[in-house]
Amino acid sequence: MKRIDEFVNKMYAHVEGDKKEIQELKEEMRSHLLEAIEELQAEGKSKQKAISIALERFGDEKQLTKGLFGLFTARKQMFKPLLHFSLVCFVICLLSWMGLTWRDHKIADESKRTNQAVHRMMVQSLHEDNLSSSKKEEIISTVKKLANDKKVSLSLYQKPQDSPEKLNSEDLSQALAKKENVITYGDNQTHKYGGGFVYENKHWYAEFGYEENPHFKDFYFIPYGLFSLFGVLIMTYLFLTYSSRKKKVYLY
């Protein structure tokens, strides 16, 4: 109907916003008007009379235009910045999480390589039941080198003869209490350093530790917090968008 189309187009003539959304709202307004006209015609009104009454019932033209313009303006000024800010939070969250994860993986890989290198050295060097002074110095020098000059702790004990490959914790404590350390290097605080391992064969028991680069576990609250903020902001944006759509419907 020409009058209906003219009325609807005039309502949205100066409203700026998403073209697809505006077109959907125009169709919705048109549908409301056509339903009202059909109801009036069913009551016995002529087509032209029904159109006039429907348009009058719909409300003041200027007031409707003002309301639509205000709603779209409010959305443009508040909703889009809210969406943009939430997306920025998500991007920062993703980048910070990737950076922290990458660094922790790098530290873990370095620790694994160091442990494997020192373990290979121990397997090769501790296959006999006696160590010469030069061999002891070589072991300490090699350990320091493989640990990239980080703070190192090394305690090497000689086990009693005819010991099994591995002693249980009680037998091990008793056996080590009877023997002097063959090699003690560093401050013997292996558990404080973060990296390292225990090596044992039938002749020797060794505790190796070294100071790892610090992990950033305490900083993971940053991406987690940003992700939570992103979730809150995006839910707020969706709620406000839904509410604004309902308000537009209530206008007509």
Q: Which residues contact 8 (CB under 8 A, 6 or more apart)?
A: 26, 29, 30, 33
Taking alpha carbons only, the member of 107, 108, 112, 120 closest to residue 199 is 120
So what's the pLDDT on residue 247? 47
Q: What tens digit of pLDDT does each residue of 83-100 get?
A: 788 888 899 989 998 988
Arithmetic mean of pLDDT, 204-215: 78
**Which residue intervals of the chain are DSSP H helices?**
2-11, 19-42, 47-58, 61-74, 80-125, 133-146, 169-177, 190-193, 221-251
Beta bridge pairs of residue 210: 152, 195
> What does the pLDDT look like over 123-179, one tens digit per residue?
888 888 788 888 888 888 888 787 776 777 888 888 877 778 887 877 777 767 766
- Where do the structural domains in the chain lie, given as residue ranges? 2-82+247-251, 105-211
Kindly report the CA angle at 182 between 180 and 183, in degrees rounded to 5? 125
pLDDT tens digits for 30-86? 787 788 788 888 888 888 888 787 777 665 444 555 455 455 555 555 667 777 888
Between vectors from CA 130 to CA 126 and to CA 131, what angle results, nearest 5°?
Answer: 70
Q: Taking the CB of residue 16, how many other CB atoms lie within 10 A of it?
A: 11
The pair of structure tokens assigned to 212 is 């790892």
Beta bridge partners of 155: 184, 207
pLDDT at 128: 80
Q: Which is nearest to 8 in space by CA: 27, 18, 52?
A: 27
Q: Which residue has the higher pLDDT, 194 or 232?
A: 232
Q: Which of 9-13, 161-165, 240-244 has the lowest mean pLDDT?
A: 240-244
Using CB atoms within 10 Å of the CB of residue 157, give its burial: 0 to 12 exposed, 13 to 18 middle, 19+ buried.
buried
Phi, psi of 182 (to 5 degrees): -80, -40
Q: Can you give the pTM of this predicted structure?
A: 0.51
